[in-house]
Structure 1
Amino acid sequence: MKFTGTIWRPPYEASSLLLEVTAGCTHHKCKFCTLYNDLPFKFKMSPMEDIECDLQEVANTMKQWDGFQFDRAFLTGANPFVLKAERLLAIADLIRKYVPTVQTIGCFARVTDITLKPDSELSALAQAGYDGLTIGMETGDDEALHFMNKGYTSADIVEQCSRLDKVGISYNFFYLVSISGASRGEIGAKATAAVCNQLHPQLIGANMLTIYPDSELYQEIQRGNWQEESEVEKYREIRVLIENLEIPTQFAALGASNAFQLHGSLPKDKNALTATIDKIIETVGEEKLRDYRMNLRHL
Structure 2
Amino acid sequence: MHYTGTIWRPPYEADSLIIEATAGCTHHRCKFCTLYEDLPFKFRPSPLEDIEADLLEAQTWYHDPLRKAEERLFALPGARTSRIFLAGANPFGLKARHLLRIAELVRAYFPQCESVGCFSRITDVAAKTDGELADLAAAGFDGLTIGVETGDEVALAFMDKGYGAEDIVEQCARLDAAGISYAFFYLAGISGAGRGIEGARATAAICNRTSPWLIGANMLTVYRNSALHAEIAAGRWREAREVEKYEEVKELISRLSVPVEFAMLGASNPVMLRGRLPEQREEVIAALDAVISDIGEDRLRSYRANLRHL
Shift of 1:102: 1.0
**Partner of residue 218, structure 2:** 207
- 1:161-213: CA deviation from partner (whole Å, max 9, x where unpaired): 11001111000000000000000000000000000000100000000000000
- 1:252-283: CA deviation from partner (whole Å, max 9, x where unpaired): 00000001111000000000001111111111
Match of 2:82 among 48, 71, 87: 71
Q: Hey, what's the Cα distance between the residues in 1 that align with 2:118 and 2:38? A: 20
Q: Hey, what's the Cα distance between the residues in 2 that align with 1:111 and 1:122? A: 13
> 1:12 is matched by which residue type in structure 2?
Y
**Partner of residue 176, structure 2:** 165
Structure 1: stretches of 5+ with no match in the other structure: none
Q: Hey, what's the Cα distance between the residues in 2 that align with 1:192 and 1:149? A: 17
- 1:125-149: CA deviation from partner (whole Å, max 9, x where unpaired): 0011100000000000000000000
SS of 1:81 mapped into structure 2: helix
**Partner of residue 235, structure 1:** 246
Q: Hey, what's the Cα distance between the residues in 2 that align with 1:199 and 1:10? A: 20
Match of 1:252 among 244, 263, 269: 263
- 1:1-48: CA deviation from partner (whole Å, max 9, x where unpaired): 010000000000001000011000000000000000000000001111
Describe how 1:172-211 pairs up with structure 2 within 5 A: 172-211=183-222
Describe how 1:82-231 pairs up with structure 2 within 5 A: 82-231=93-242
Q: Hey, what's the Cα distance between the residues in 2 that align with 1:59 and 1:132? A: 23
- 1:200-242: CA deviation from partner (whole Å, max 9, x where unpaired): 0000000000000000000000000000100000000000000
SS of 2:19 mapped into structure 1: strand
Q: Hey, what's the Cα distance between the residues in 1 that align with 2:105 and 2:293? A: 52
Q: Hey, what's the Cα distance between the residues in 1 that align with 2:309 and 2:225? A: 12
Q: TM-score, length-normalised on structure 2?
A: 0.96
Q: Hey, what's the Cα distance between the residues in 1 that align with 2:48 and 2:302? A: 45
Deviates further, 88-97 or 67-76: 67-76
Q: Hey, what's the Cα distance between the residues in 1 that align with 2:284 and 2:80? A: 35
RMSD over aligned CA atoms reads 0.6
> 1:41 is matched by which residue type in structure 2?
F
Matched residue count:
299
Asked if 1:4 corresponds to 2:4, the answer is yes
Q: Hey, what's the Cα distance between the residues in 1 that align with 2:117 and 2:79? A: 20
Shift of 1:101: 1.8
> 1:39 is matched by which residue type in structure 2?
L
Asked if 1:297 corresponds to 2:308, the answer is yes
SS of 1:152 mapped into structure 2: coil
Q: TM-score, length-normalised on structure 1?
A: 0.99
- 1:48-82: CA deviation from partner (whole Å, max 9, x where unpaired): 11111111111111111424211000000000001
> 1:59 is matched by which residue type in structure 2?
Q
Runs of 4+ aligned residues of structure 1 deviating over 3 Å after TM superposition are: none
